[in-house]
Amino acid sequence: MIAWIRFMLTAAFVLSGIVVCCIGGLGVYRFKYVANRMHASALNDTLGIALCLIGWAISAPDGFTAVKLLLVVVFYFISGPVSSHLLCRLEIETNEQREDYMTVRDLDEEAAIAAAQAESELEAAQDEPDAQHDAGEQAGFDANMNDTEILDENSADEAEEAAAQDGEVDAP
């Protein structure tokens, strides 16, 4: 009975792994750009091979063989995506016609533009201190108010009474 359960689990894992690998192969065939193809193949072969190896580990004759197969799965889960990422990155950096397939942004240029905008906004804010004050009032608070300043008369009276009870200030 246990042999049949192991056989069924092995068959299920191996067949599902084969199906996943076939779907990945279809993705490699259908996509036009190499980065898309690498993505389809990397995701699907990692999962497909892992499912097959797990199925074989279930049907392994001894525990040592099963552990070795599971270690191969762990190694493949680590190395497969990393290697495909590096290959895809190499292709993107060396492809001279990549603008035909994707939008290419120069991050160094964008960072320089963002830094220049931030610097001009900072200079404008320093030139107009009232603008900061007005912005604070619009947000619903006084930007120049100290934490200890009390604006409400009732809260000032309550603060004096509390201080008098604590013995800090003489009550009137």
pLDDT tens digits, one per residue of 54-99:
999 999 888 899 999 899 989 988 888 888 888 888 887 887 776 7
- Residue 74 included in any domain: yes
Q: Are 49 and 75 in contact (CB under 8 A)?
A: no
Specify if 144 maps to a domain: no
> In the prediction, which pLDDT does 167 show?
59
Type and span of the H or E element at 153: helix 153-166
Q: Which domain holds residue 8?
A: 2-100
What confidence tens digit (pLDDT) does each residue in 8-47 have? Answer: 999 999 999 999 999 888 888 888 877 788 888 888 888 8
34 lies in a domain?
yes
Across the chain, mean pLDDT equals: 76
Structure tokens belonging to residue 157: 């009276």
**In a domain? residue 131:** no
At 124 the pLDDT is 78
Q: Is residue 81 within 8 Å of 74, Cβ to Cβ? A: no
Is 133 among the domain residues?
no
Q: Most distant CA pair in the chain: distance in Å?
A: 93
Question: Which residue type, as a one-letter code, is found at position 27?
Answer: G
Count of structural domains, the chain: 1
